[in-house]
Each structure stands twice: as structure tokens, then as C-alpha cells.
Amino acid sequence: MNSHPAHHDHGSETDEAPLAALLDLDAEVLDSYLQDLVGWVHDLAGEPPPRRILDVGSGTGTGALSLLRSFDGASAVALDVSDYMLSRLRDKARDLGLADRIVTVQADLDATWPAVGTVDLVWASASLHHMADPEHALTEIFAALRPGGVVAAVELGRFPRFLPDDIGLGRPGLEERCHAAIDQERAHALPHLGSDWGQRLSQAGFTIQAQRSFEIELTPPLPAGAGRYAQASLRRLRSALDGQLGEEDLAVLDTILDSEGPEGVLRRDDLTIRAARTAWVARRP
């Protein structure tokens, strides 16, 4: 779900390939969190189980595909602005034997929402804060849901951290300074990040059923892809830091990102993964 991946960043395939890879690494490395989250949503969805699922801002399909594996016989519609992301999703669905249960629709959800018919469950993971007008998005979600249908909204509680505070390269606290350096830029680019989504869901007419905070803390031994996940996430952070961080900090960060260097994240044995996500499950009356 990057700095956390931004599902609605888009451009050329060359631009999108690293982001798509990061989304897939996020799903791979944080699989235990994802299974916990999907299981929680599954239990709250109740009976009868959802038959039609809508994934809003699907990216490479982590949510939609996990839900299809959780709800036997369900089908899904995945919406995303990026055809490249949706192509990755279709490839994964085919590999999992789920291709006949999912339809992808390319759509700019800040413009006109496509007609998707009535659905039983809407999944919106790290996508609502990218909307130019979240109230409009929630109105569209409300309209798509059948009465009694459920929306599961998942948002960032804290961007992932990977490095020890003292990384042994003479720049303690580097990772926190990196995030602090672009906090103002994030706030400008993503003004809805950190919103009270429970309140916004209520104002849109939903009844909040449950809210849950997920504190993610993985320590060694880490999943196999953890080093690549850390590298991809920190590279995405690094791309925003020129002119925002001192040269000494940037040099150390570049050392950490060096795939061949002994201090690089691919070779370090002191990485951890710390992140937080918050989820709301709400029902249309």
C-alpha cells in the first residue's frame, strides 16, 4: 500500500514500473498484515457474503485479488487511472487463476466515474487521500453500494521506516530527517492525507461499523523481499529530497541505496519495518 505507494501517480510506463514494483513488494513483505486486514473485513462484511466487489484506486490489485481469494465465488471490478497498473493486475490475476473473476476499468476518478453497477463491498486502500474531492468520491461509493453494503477504507497512519536510528555511518536520525524534510511538500501535494475518514464517511451517510489501527513492526528474520522493499521505498523518498536535505545526509542516503555497497540496504542485517495503517469499515444504511 512507499514512502507509501501513491496509486494515482501516473505517467509513462518507465515512470510507473518502479511504483508498480513497490506496490507488489509492499504486498509481499507485509503479507501478514494484509491477511489480518482482509480477514477482519471478511468477518465484518457478514452474511450474505459479498458477491460483487469494487476496488477504488486498485493499483496492481493487492486488495482486489486478496478479497477474491477470501470470498469464494465473488467477482471484482478494479478501477485505476493507470493502464500500466491495471495490466500488472491482469497478469497477476491470470497467474492466480482469477482472471475470469475480475474486470479492470481505466478511469480518472477525479473526473467522471464509470458505471459499475451495484456492488456489495467497496475497497479503498490508500486511495481516498489522493482524490481531489474525497466527498465526491464517497458520494459515488455510496451510490454504487447496495443498501446494507460495506465500504472498507484503509489509510496511512505512518509512512514506513526501515533504518536503525544510529545506522553506523555518522548520521544518526537520518531517516526521520528525510521524512521531516518533505512533510511540507507532502501536505501541499496530498492535503487530505491524515484526514478523519471516520467523520468523512459518516458525513457521506455511512454508518461506521468498526475502526482499527494496525501497528506493523517486523524484526529479523525479515521476509525475503524486505531489503528490496526498503530500497525501493527509500529510493522513492530520495527522489523528492534534492534541495530539501543537506549534502552529507544525501551522501549517506546514497550509500545506503547502493545495491553493491556493504552498507546498502540489500546487505544490511539491522533493518526493521515499522509502519501504521488505519482501517474503517462502514455500512450503507
The pTM for the full model equals: 0.93
Q: How many other C-beta atoms are found inside a 10 Å radius of the C-beta of residue 254?
A: 12
The closest of 215, 239, 227 to 6, measured between CA atoms, is 239
13-161+192-220+274-283 maps to which CATH number? 3.40.50.150
**What is the Rg, in whole angstroms, of the alpha carbon atoms belonging to the chain?**
19
The rounded distance, in Å, linking the Cα atoms of 254 and 261 is 10
**Each residue of 211-226: pLDDT tens digit?**
999 999 999 999 999 9
- Provide, rounded to the nearest whole percent, the portion of the chain with pLDDT above 70: 95
Q: Does pLDDT of 13 surpass 80?
A: no
Domain ranges of the chain: 13-161+192-220+274-283
Q: In this predicted structure, what is the pLDDT of residue 5?
A: 37
**Each residue of 178-204: pLDDT tens digit?**
999 998 888 889 999 999 999 999 999
Q: Does pLDDT of 243 surpass 90?
A: no
Q: Does pLDDT of 7 surpass 50?
A: no
Looking at every residue in the chain, the average pLDDT score rounds to 93
The closest of 27, 28, 7 to 19, measured between CA atoms, is 7
Q: Are strands 75-80 and 102-106 parallel, antiparallel or unpaired?
A: parallel
Would you say 249 and 186 are in contact if contact means Cβ atoms under 8 Å apart?
A: no
**Each residue of 254-265: pLDDT tens digit?**
999 999 999 999
Q: In this predicted structure, what is the pLDDT of residue 185?
A: 86
**Each residue of 35-69: pLDDT tens digit?**
999 999 999 999 999 999 999 999 999 999 999 99
Residue for grid cell 550509500: 255
Query: Residue 198 has which C-alpha cell?
Result: 471516520
Q: In this predicted structure, what is the pLDDT of residue 15?
A: 79
